[in-house]
Structure 1
């Protein structure tokens, strides 16, 4: 029998290695991030959220004086931008500084929690990639729902009990953000007519914004604690399994 030059060499057939199983955004299971505790960052995020809310309450308390300054500016024929600097304006500057600190710590907590959630439940699909834990809060348009999806999926992947309250938290947050931005625009009007209108509405807008923020804060604290506790339980279980 003649030898076929195109035949494969004799010997055992070695099967090709199986393709890695992927979860969201193409990360293979063998490269999953380790389980990391988020309790410290979660506590810091809660504390800063409480400080921010306290500053918002302070803004509400100082809003009547700011409204009086706006009325005086309108009566003199100039806009809010040229009105007297009040304690309300100082509280607004303080609010921005606290907001920045809260954003940084909260995003660190979300980023770490998402990595832990992926490691704990690799089969669950996260609708948004991890970069949106940072970008989702301020990118126009998508900021209306991307952070909600990030938080929702983190909680779904780690919660040990029923997942509830996320919709109410996000609705209250959007109320606060919308009205807070409205108050900021009202206190920077350039015409006397617009300033007079702002003076009459400022206290009401700040009151509604504060109510929205307090509601969002209560639900946020519950969610952060729930996620941190659930992840701590998973980490403890994983360590126990490793020891055994």
Structure 2
């Protein structure tokens, strides 16, 4: 049984949720644009001179389409992803703090796992979902976990594991894969976009149930 501990005051989450949703939309759009550009590269076909990396340290000049993919699509997409990660973690931190206050019980995962859970190998396959699950149980006792959580996490794992193999290496390597491994890249991109959409539902749902719990808790408090 978890021991009861002192908890901080309830924190507003609507603003943090709005930022998380906005950046999830931005990240999803960025990855959709990445997929669209990869289709354009595949349709155009690899130049007769071969891939950008010619081997032995030699590189050919990028085509206009490849150059745009390099400087616009990938760089802006990576920036949108980082911004989304920061906003999502800020929201996650707030709803976790509120879940602690509402339940009065020690969380299953200590606070460093809010960050480390995403980057520690093996552990990152289940800990982030576990944190979300615990927040929901504390915020909506007795209510069933929303299906969006499982969809979000399943799609995120597909995108994460697929991206770990396909998006490693230099940008020139990724450009070469856009010509040879287009279907696999598109599956990964679709999973990331789907995870962004499901993530929006997770943020909105958890924020709503937590706000309801906060409202009911305050409404039930005796007047002094």
Smaller-chain TM-score bracket: 0.7 to 0.9
**Stretches of structure 1 lacking an aligned partner (at least 5 in a row):** 1-20
Q: How many residues align?
A: 214
Correspondence 1:235 to 2:214: yes
Of 168, 174, 199 in structure 1, the residue corresponding to residue 179 of structure 2 is 199
Correspondence 1:102 to 2:84: yes
Alignment-derived partner of residue 176 in structure 1: 159
Correspondence 1:132 to 2:132: no
CA distance in 2, matches of 1:37, 1:87: 41
**Stretches of structure 2 lacking an aligned partner (at least 5 in a row):** none
Any idea what the Cα deviations from partners look like across 1:2-22, whole Å, max 9, x if unmatched? xxxxxxxxxxxxxxxxxxx96
CA distance in 2, matches of 1:195, 1:219: 28
Alignment-derived partner of residue 164 in structure 1: 146
SS at structure 2 position matched to 1:212 = helix
Alignment-derived partner of residue 59 in structure 2: 82
Q: Which has the higher Rg, Structure 1 or Structure 2? A: 1
Asked if the contact 2:31–2:193 (Cα under 8 Å) also holds between the matched residues in 1, the reply is: no
Q: 1:77 to 1:97 in 2, by over 3 A?
A: closer
CA distance in 2, matches of 1:81, 1:45: 42
- Provide runs of 4+ in structure 1 moved above 6 Å: 194-197
Alignment-derived partner of residue 132 in structure 2: 151
RMSD (Å) for aligned C-alpha atoms? 3.0
TM-score (norm 1): 0.75
TM-score (norm 2): 0.81
Cα shift at 1:119 = 0.9
Asked if the contact 1:45–1:106 (Cα under 8 Å) also holds between the matched residues in 2, the reply is: yes
Alignment-derived partner of residue 21 in structure 2: 46
Moved more, 106-115 or 83-92: 83-92
Moved more, 54-63 or 219-228: 219-228
Q: 1:97 to 1:169 in 2, by over 3 A?
A: same
Cα shift at 1:71 = 4.8
